[in-house]
Structure 1
Amino acid sequence: MIPQIPGSRAEPFLVCPDARHADINLARLQQLGMVTHEGGRTGVAEDFRIIKRPLLRGARGLDSQPIQHGNLIIVTSALPGEGKTYCAINLAMSMAMERDTTVLLVDADVARPAVLNVLGLEPGPGLMDVLLDDERDLSEVILKTNVPALSLLPSGRRNKHATELLASRNMSRLLDDIANRYPDRIVIFDSPPLLITSEASVLASQMGQVVVVVEAERTTHSSVREALRLVESCRHVNLVYNKSKPFSCSDHHYAYYDQG
């Protein structure tokens, strides 16, 4: 079973002399049952080891035809509260354990950013600031962390024209740069819910792979169908069944389906 994130407020992060470095509160994540390097072989860690494998194969072009921007992976859901941020963070942490792989976790839920809060970090400049300021380089807002292979890109300042900015040529150029500058880098975007804002479908149209998180026993079939319709421009769409009750024969259960 992949559980949800408890709603407790995160503790502030420790500011290092380098303003582009932040220490993730790994002890807190471990207490929440999330994936960490020191967390051992927990059920959740094993779930995400299985979930990440086909995504990594797609990112590295190991299956048939290479996927354009296959290393750009968006994690979204039909509705709020289904666990997309939880899945995005755990997926990023799990992928950061891979050899010869670096991971950039992007908080792209620009209306309701949550990644930094869950990680125990304070908000700062990020994606929207780069899109709004042609003079600002991406390297100025990426945060290196105490997880060696994991970096973070905050959402940055809110803007009422977020959808237009995410659909802009600047965003397309930024994504090309992110995808191609470091071929060993996997970029995971925590996106807004598909049925709540238009930003999610705009982002998904520019991704190589899409992960749609579906909450067990809550999300309706019609909501899932409508969400999938909004990302049908992407050929590689995957579903993660979240918050399911365990079977009697197993302590943990997940469901993973490739729609590609």
Structure 2
Amino acid sequence: MDIIEQAAKRLEELRRAGVEVAPEPQPSVGETARKVGAGSTAPADAQGVAQSRRVELDMNVLTAHGILTPDSVRSQLGDEMRVIKRPLLHNVSGKGAAPVKDANLIMVTSALPGEGKTFMAANLAISIAMELDHTVLLVDADVARPSLPEVFGFDEERGLLDVLTDPTLDLSQVLLRTNIEKLSVLPAGTPHPRATELLASEAMNHLLADMAQRYHDRIIIFDSPPLLVTTEARALAMHMGQVVLVVKAESTTHAEVRNAIAAIESCPVKMAVLNKTTGHVDGHGYGYGYGYGYGYAAKSSASAART
């Protein structure tokens, strides 16, 4: 299927979903020739698809938000991120107890807002990017309340929603390469009044399938909306190979955790991470202080368990 057929198919999917899409004006043959002759300011690959842009992440901003950086000294946060990522990477490489379909698609979510899912997604992405054998794409899929621009310190950019609403826009055109080697970011994109419906649309389903196939050698981490206050996170979970559920210690109830797990029952691998603990959850005195980027800091610890 060529790019024109793909664009036509996506337009039809958006119309069926009830999303109004303005018709793209068609250039004349002369206009097309002038554009080709003049060239493009954006680099392009052999197929003529514009390459991703680059953003310089400020390591001081990351540190201020408690995010790992490649030059961070060894810390409890770094050690616990290693504990959390190891079983995920085993599943990606096929070394787990059983094969996991689309194991490279990993969703980080929570039952409710404010439990630290964006903090976990950002640190997990950077920690995996520091591995020798993996590259990472971090997707801001919390389109109603995107947090990655604040945490990473970059301006709002075109991204996921733009790809879903513009059939002529290729995913590679909105990816942000970063100065952290092997880490790229896909922003949430331009705000849209029907963002929730777009994330649960057939167009999103096709985009996820395309990402899994096109970037099969890359680990893709989705910072997802909370499970119990939105519906799109449940739709996303149906396409994920692995889900990391962030649970806020001494806050999230057992019933909320059970309901959240039930909402992602279709996902083959589910990992629960206890966040913001005030005690020694593992008996070895693990604990560290970090800032979330949401206006507060807390002495915390994270522990992981396969569910």
Contact 2:141 2:224 in 1 (8 A): yes
Aligned counterpart, 1:23: 56
Specify the SS of the correspondent of 2:169: coil
The letter for the 2-side match of 1:256 is A
Q: TM-score, normalised on structure 1?
A: 0.89
Moved more, 35-44 or 175-184: 175-184
Secondary structure (helix, strand or coil) at the match of 2:107 reads: strand
Could you tell me the TM-score, scaled by structure 2's length?
Answer: 0.75
CA contact (8 A) 1:162 1:199 kept: no
Structure-2 residue corresponding to 1:251 = 286
**Match among 151, 168, 193 for residue 226 of structure 2:** 193
Match of 1:13 in 2: none
Deviations 1:178-214 (A, max 9, x none): 1122332000000111111111111111111111100
Alignment RMSD: 1.7
Structure 2 equivalent of residue 52 of structure 1: 85
Q: Mean alpha-carbon deviation: is it higher for 69-78 or for 181-190?
A: 181-190
Q: Deviations 1:121-158 (Å, cap 9, x if unpaired)?
A: 11111001001111000001000000010000000122
Alignment of 1:1-260 (within 5 A): 20-247=53-280, 249-252=284-287, 253-259=301-307
- Aligned-partner residue type, residue 190 of structure 2: R
Task: Number of aligned residue pairs: give it.
Answer: 243
Deviation, structure 1 residue 249: 4.3
Output one character per residue of 1:87-110: Cα deviation in whole Å (capped at 9) or x when no partner: 000000000001121100000000
Amino acid at match of 1:23: E
1:40 Cα deviation after fit: 1.6
Instruction: Report the Cα offset of residue 170 of structure 1.
Output: 2.2
* Equivalent position SS for 1:99: coil
26-35 vs 188-197, greater mean Cα deviation: 26-35
Give the counterpart letter for 1:103 in structure 2.
Answer: V
Mark the structure with the bigger radius of gyration: 2
Q: Whose RCO is larger (CA < 8 A, sep 6+)?
A: 1
C-alpha separation in 2, matches of 1:59 and 1:107: 21
Are the counterparts in 1 of residues 121 and 223 from structure 2 also a CA contact under 8 Å?
yes
Q: Percent identity?
A: 49
Deviates more, 1:177-186 or 1:82-91: 177-186
8 Å Cα contact 1:100/1:184 also seen in 2 = no
Aligned mates of 2:187, 2:64 — CA distance in 1: 23
Structure 2 residue runs of 5 or longer lacking an equivalent are: 1-41, 44-51, 288-300
Partner of 2:304, secondary structure, is strand
In the alignment, residue 286 of structure 2 is paired with which amino acid?
D
